[in-house]
Structure 1
């Protein structure tokens, strides 16, 4: 293993505006962040993982996003990332934003999922052990838990910050009303929520839809002072050129990794082909246009960062390059709206609105 020396121009290499302030906080995130949901488990070569992390940092990607159950197996992504962080990034910890989460299934038994104080606190302790860190920068409740009072979950997040094991806390996949409630509780505790992490793409626009109170999730987050980091902007790979000519062997769809063959219907593939034509007219790949679309300016509802996965350095570079052109004309947006339809990608929809009162 060769010693890693980060690129000296890693901050100058990106254009102005590469870092965007998160909500009402003083924290800034890069426009594109690296997610570890896929590609960092024990089924992937550690040296490929190392190369992706190095290249990301060299290009100004300072945010690495993990969760307790990322793998496979569960916990492997944190363990592998922890090894690489120790070997390559120990001298640069202060330049990195490391996030983790708990809430989805981690292990069998009543404390391996949910939003209880027991689940969140014990999970974070194990995450820190795997990562080899004293603290994470952001810790999320990964999804609403209908069996746990919202106050219990929020108070646990408050106390995690007070313990020094996380600098900031956030939520993921909460609906607009629940987001507003959670933010109100935390503001009252003097520990504001930093950020919301929802799924969002051209073919999965639930965050734009009005909730029961009339506000969308994007509006609710903005009104509550939260930043937004969008995961799955590529709709689990549908919004790439990978499936335009069929389902290749070894793809995520064949492996059953969150993108089912049913989602790759002729209707969806036909839509992706038409969107690909629009991307070509913009001088972008389909993936680049999809990421740029998520990051486009939307008045006061702008997304802070897009969370992308990468199985290779080449794919990473292509995705990061999306930030070179985030401008859309009114005609382009209208054309995209006329082509794009809901693709049935939002497999997290059932978790967005649950609420148990204390």
Structure 2
């Protein structure tokens, strides 16, 4: 297959890259997640255009999982095609990650954290993407029924067999994160990233102490849903659009967009305007505000959304009165997602 795409020669001039904890790995402050925006219901030309534009803007990190789509596996297949048609010459400039933990196939070995599932799933993901290795491979969720030593030793084996360079975990609470880090340290496995959910409307990693834990351990963090499943994009300032996630019950419950929630979103939007930002830009800047988050992981359904999000990086500093005002309106109990 002929590769015709040529990347923007100035792609690294505007992007900032942050070290993942105390590792040698650096990630762009903004990374592109290929989740529900990258399945069979999205035209391939749109997916291709988003990947190309992201890379042209200095976004070198593309995040996948075995179950991303829909259907499961289709996001990895689509990205594999984009690699072959466009990004293959730049493979050594890219950080490509995938994960396993959620249900992928029938039977007792098709989900969670067993050694059998993780290694088989990694092999399948490599096949779908056409890659020889992942830069980072994650345990997608904590498995309460599998010994943590088994899950971590599976990640260790994935690295030792050349199928990944680094490992990570996603959505693990602080206590389990410390235990996982201790096991991986004993094994000599390069544990570099934790991927938790985090936004100004969802601050569990602060309540749990995970931010402090990761800083102490020297592990980087890449947060997903910094826009609170789209609530902080500005799409819901006038209610629920027909084609929105909330209207279609895709990851965002319509009940979250109450009249009080919309009032508070308008107040947050006013703060963003005073900062010269869109609501989405301020939300991304907020998660990056103190330098303890390595990268914010965004999803997008079109190129313009990626461009808008990148605009957040020009101002990630907040005055104390701005943070206090945001706290006044960004109330998890009122606009919570759970």
Any gaps of 5 or more consecutive residues in structure 2?
A: none
CA contact (8 A) 1:183 1:192 kept: no
1:10 pairs with 2:11: yes
Q: Post-superposition shift, 1:2?
A: 8.3
Bigger CA drift: 130-139 or 336-345? 336-345
SS in 2 for 1:254: coil
Describe the superposition over 1:206-262 as per-residue Cα deviations: whole angstroms up to 9, x where unpaired.
0001x4xxxx00111111111000100000001111011011111111222101101
Computed over aligned residues only, the root mean square deviation of the Cα atoms, in angstroms, reads 1.2
SS of corresponding position for 2:62: strand
1:267 is aligned to 2:249: no
What SS class does the counterpart of residue 222 from structure 2 fall into? strand
Structure 1 distance, partners of 2:146, 2:3, is: 48
> Secondary structure at 1:255's aligned position in 2?
coil
Distance 1:105 1:264 in 2: 29
**Structure 1: 5+ residue runs without aligned partners?**
347-358
Query: Is residue 113 from structure 1 mapped to residue 111 from structure 2 by the alignment?
Result: yes
* CA deviation map 1:26-47 (0-9, x unaligned): 0000000000112110000000
Counterpart-to-counterpart distance in 2, 1:94 and 1:53: 16
Q: Per-residue CA shift, 1:36-71, capped at 9, x if unaligned? A: 112110000000000000000000000000000000
Question: Which residue number corresponds to residue 285 of structure 1?
Answer: 278
Q: Deviations over 1:251-280 (max 9, x none)?
A: 111222101101212222222111011000
Contact 2:3–2:84 (Cα < 8 Å) also in 1:
no
In the alignment, which residue of structure 2 is the partner of 1:309?
A: 299
Hey, what's the Cα distance between the residues in 1 that align with 2:65 and 2:269? 32
Please, which moves more after superposition, 101-110 or 285-294? 101-110
Matched, 1:336 2:326: yes
Residue among 84, 87, 107 paired with 1:86: 84
1:206-355 superposed matches below 5 A: 206-209=204-207, 211=208, 216-297=209-290, 302-342=292-332, 343-346=335-338
> How far apart, in 2, do the equivalents of 1:83 and 1:135 lie?
16
Counterpart secondary structure, 2:218? coil
Question: Does the 8 Å contact 2:67/2:102 carry over to 1?
Answer: yes
Whether the aligned pair in 1 keeps the contact of 2:253 and 2:337 (CA below 8 Å) is no
Secondary structure of 1:252's partner? coil
Q: Distance in 2 between matches of 1:192 and 1:56?
A: 27
Q: Which residue of 1 aligns with 2:195?
A: 197
Cα shift at 1:314: 0.6
How far is the alpha carbon of 1:188 from its aligned partner?
A: 1.0
Superposed CA deviations along residues 62-104 of structure 1, whole A, max 9, x for unmatched, are 0000000000100000000000111101110000000000001
Q: Displacement of 1:108 after TM fit? A: 2.3
Runs of 4+ in 1 over 2 A off after TM superposition: none
C-alpha separation between the residues in 1 aligned to 2:185 and 2:174? 16
Cα distance in structure 2, aligned partners of 1:60 and 1:19: 9
1:156 aligns with 2:154: yes
Is the 1:158–1:191 contact (alpha carbons within 8 Å) kept by the matching residues of 2?
A: yes
